[in-house]
Structure 1
Amino acid sequence: MLGLYLHIPFCSAICNYCNFNRGLFQPALKERYVTALLTEIARAADGAPADTIFFGGGTPSLLEPAEIATIIRACRIAWALAPDAEITLEANPETVTPERLSGFREAGVNRLSYGVQSFRDDELARLSRLHSSGRAVEAFHMARGAGFDNISLDLMMWLPQQSVSHWLESVDELIELGPDHASMYLLELYPNAPLRDEMARGQWSLAPDDDAAEMYLTGLARMDAAGYVQYEISNVARAGRHSRHNMKYWMDGEWLGFGCGAHSTRAGTRWKNVSSTEDYITATMNGQSIAAEVRALSSQERLEDALFTGLRLNAGLDLAVMNDRYKVDVWSEYGGELQSFADQGILSYDGRSLRLTRAGMLLAHEVMAVFIR
């Protein structure tokens, strides 16, 4: 079934490390944007089955609960949305109140994803986040009080001036709260990130690579001990609480993206909407094309995508499924180059499946480079 992605590009402030398609919140612009989003949804409607909706951003929790309800209602009209559909809203801790959270829940949102990033105030300040660690804890309890029984928290590791012990403080605080899902990412600094300049001015440094590896492995070990199950390189969950929407990205699924800069993949074709919020609104309301890039994927591109994304999963690649779907014997085709990774304990190959070991997940890019032809 389809996944539906709704991009909400507005933020109260621009974080110094972020490279997503976003801009500062403007109430009037937001209202025009929601109208355009509803127009795009109505035009794309085809009644096909769908079972996930994901509001990503930006900061989707800056929308009013009534606006979220209207968008979800539009999706239900446009597609055959499953009764048990997973409906996720990304939120920042400083944007929520008990009343807003209850409103989001009543609108149909049943999964909340908080961008916490750290439970240390000094680290949050370096990332130019608006919330404090105390506010993140408060927001979590507010969400539970509003009836959310599926909450995900994001944490980032390898932050400027962060030590292994500081990182583990955040991991332990997350475990103490007991979310249903957690995403644990290594910081990636894009070339023009303002954080780079701030690091230079403040003489902030990143821990050595070996410490970053220790953060990743030790953090996941603590999540294991707390009863979470890793199912993807950066994601862990309680039983049955993996992100159903994101699994579509990793399991060669199909999804439709709506809003500025949103990506879609369906029936072997991939496309991206225009990135500019104003250009998106103007083109949509004038009935013009909003697709900035459209590409029919070749069979080799589809295979490579499936190899890249499937190897991110703990379960790895089911080689029989790959052979049936793409008519490729993966080990016969790539095994000569992959054998050294298996010999080093980076890859596990048993004749039926191919997967990264946990230590190997730190070297995923090197392994995946083998698949580029």
Structure 2
Amino acid sequence: MLGLYLHIPFCAAICNYCNFNRGLLDAALKVRYVDALVREIEAAAEPATRADTIYFGGGTPSLLSGSEVARIIDACRAAFDILDDREITLEANPDTITVDLLESYRAAGVNRLSYGVQSFRDEELQRLGRLHSAETAHQALAAARSAGFGNVSMDLMMWLPEQRIDQWLASVDALIAARPEHASLYLLELYPNAPLKEDMARAGWSLAPDDDAAAMYLESLARLDGAGYEQYEISNVARPGCQARHNVKYWKDGEWLGFGCGAHSTRGGVRWRNVTATIDYIQRVAAGTTVVAERRVMGADERVEEALFTGLRLSAGLDLAAITATYGLDVWRRHGAELSRFVDAGLVIHEPGSRLALTRSGMLLANEVMAVFIGPTVR
């Protein structure tokens, strides 16, 4: 089933660790951008093609008004056969939220919110350049409940500058007490040109040792287990029935169409991405020229490599029989000699002919395990 991704590039402020395609909010530019986004969706119309997920990502999609969100969702419904049993997610920053705004999103068709909380400690939020406080994050969840949302996700970020294990776990405990239906736990990635790197050097901030990062990860998951959450992917947990259906497409070799500047699409073994610059994107749509900046056909080896990489991120792991049926690859016959050492070390589970999965400890070394699949041929 197809998924639709909608990129909203605007932010009220630029977080000092962020590497996503985004820019500061310009109200007039936002109006033009929504017009262009709707036109791109209309031009791609396939009324007979079914889709069951829509995802507003960014940037900060919650800078859109309810009427703008409704207009975009209506364009998706007109262009594709959106199932009644659909998941429509909108990413939101806690500082942009009011009950009235959330009610307008829900009336437009949004049925899932994803809050970029990152931390429940004000000191850490300030270091990250976030505009909200821990109290604002709690208020945002209360607003979601008041507006009738029964499916809310929260993101937390670990291994922050100067963060101790107990401080990270305090945020995890606060999340558990807040009782969202879903949570994503990410390790801070410091990109080469991130302003946070300069802040760290100037202030003398440091990151905890790798062993502490591993302890943060494992202990937080143990606490979430005890609170009734189920881990279904390396960085994601959910209450039963509340997995992020759109994101699962990325890990289960699914297909999606991306709309908006910088959006990526994958379908039928072809991958493409739109131009990154917002103005360039708007001008191309207005001129009726392609917004695609790059398109390539994935080779057979690349397709199976990606299926192995993404599938192994899931707690359920790889369905070995399905991989063989789809790609003609016997994973264990091809890679078993190299994988055996990970099985012996308790990092990988192998159920012959059925399943290959990372243990929780193995998830800490996922890149090392996945490196086994890299080569001139996976067959």
On whether the aligned pair clears a TM of 0.5, the verdict is: yes
How far is the alpha carbon of 1:285 from its aligned partner? Answer: 1.0
Question: Quick check: 1:151 aligned with 2:180?
Answer: no
How far is the alpha carbon of 1:42 from its aligned partner? Answer: 0.3
Instruction: Provide the residue aligned with 2:53 in structure 1.
Output: 52
Q: d(CA) in 2 for partners of 1:293 and 1:356?
A: 34
Opposite residue 355 of structure 1, the aligned amino acid is: A
SS in 2 for 1:189: coil
Q: Provide, for residues 226-271 of structure 1, a one-character-per-residue CA deviation record: whole Å limited to 9, x for no partner.
A: 0000000000000100000001000000000000000000111000
How far is the alpha carbon of 1:336 from its aligned partner? Answer: 1.2
Instruction: Provide the residue aligned with 2:271 in structure 1.
Output: 270
Q: d(CA) in 1 for partners of 2:257 and 2:266?
A: 6
Question: Quick check: 1:337 aligned with 2:341?
Answer: no
How far is the alpha carbon of 1:68 from its aligned partner? Answer: 0.2
Instruction: Provide the residue aligned with 1:37 in structure 2.
Output: 37
| TM-score, reference length from structure 1 | 1.00
Instruction: Provide the residue aligned with 2:14 in structure 1.
Output: 14
Q: d(CA) in 1 for partners of 2:142 and 2:303?
A: 42
Q: Provide, for residues 303-327 of structure 1, a one-character-per-residue CA deviation record: whole Å limited to 9, x for no partner.
A: 0010000000000001000000000
How far is the alpha carbon of 1:347 from its aligned partner? Answer: 0.8
How far is the alpha carbon of 1:367 from its aligned partner? Answer: 0.9
Opposite residue 19 of structure 1, the aligned amino acid is: N
Instruction: Provide the residue aligned with 2:370 in structure 1.
Output: 368
Instruction: Tell me which moved more, 131-140 or 338-347.
Output: 338-347
How far is the alpha carbon of 1:57 from its aligned partner? Answer: 0.2
How far is the alpha carbon of 1:147 from its aligned partner? Answer: 0.2
Number of residue pairs matched by the alignment: 373
Opposite residue 22 of structure 1, the aligned amino acid is: R
Opposite residue 354 of structure 1, the aligned amino acid is: L
Instruction: Provide the residue aligned with 1:353 in structure 2.
Output: 355
Q: Provide, for residues 70-123 of structure 1, a one-character-per-residue CA deviation record: whole Å limited to 9, x for no partner.
A: 100000000000001100000000001111011111110000000000000000
User: Structure 2 matches for 1:1-373, cutoff 5 A?
Assistant: 1-47=1-47, 48-351=49-352, 352-373=354-375
Q: d(CA) in 2 for partners of 1:284 and 1:250?
A: 31
Opposite residue 120 of structure 2, the aligned amino acid is: F
Q: d(CA) in 2 for partners of 1:337 and 1:26?
A: 52
Opposite residue 281 of structure 1, the aligned amino acid is: I
Q: d(CA) in 2 for partners of 1:29 and 1:273?
A: 18
State the Cα RMSD in Å. 0.5
Opposite residue 267 of structure 1, the aligned amino acid is: G
User: Structure 2, unaligned stretches of length 5 or more?
Assistant: none
How far is the alpha carbon of 1:361 from its aligned partner? Answer: 0.4
Question: Once superposed, which parts of structure 1, at least 4 consecutive aligned residues long, lie more than 2 Å away?
Answer: none
Opposite residue 320 of structure 2, the aligned amino acid is: L
How far is the alpha carbon of 1:342 from its aligned partner? Answer: 1.1
Q: d(CA) in 1 for partners of 2:186 and 2:200?
A: 19
Opposite residue 14 of structure 1, the aligned amino acid is: I
Opposite residue 60 of structure 2, the aligned amino acid is: T
| TM-score, reference length from structure 2 | 0.98
Identity of aligned residues (%): 65
Opposite residue 42 of structure 1, the aligned amino acid is: E
User: Structure 1, unaligned stretches of length 5 or more?
Assistant: none
SS in 2 for 1:253: coil
Q: d(CA) in 2 for partners of 1:287 and 1:301?
A: 32
Q: d(CA) in 2 for partners of 1:45 and 1:238?
A: 35
Q: d(CA) in 2 for partners of 1:369 and 1:262?
A: 27
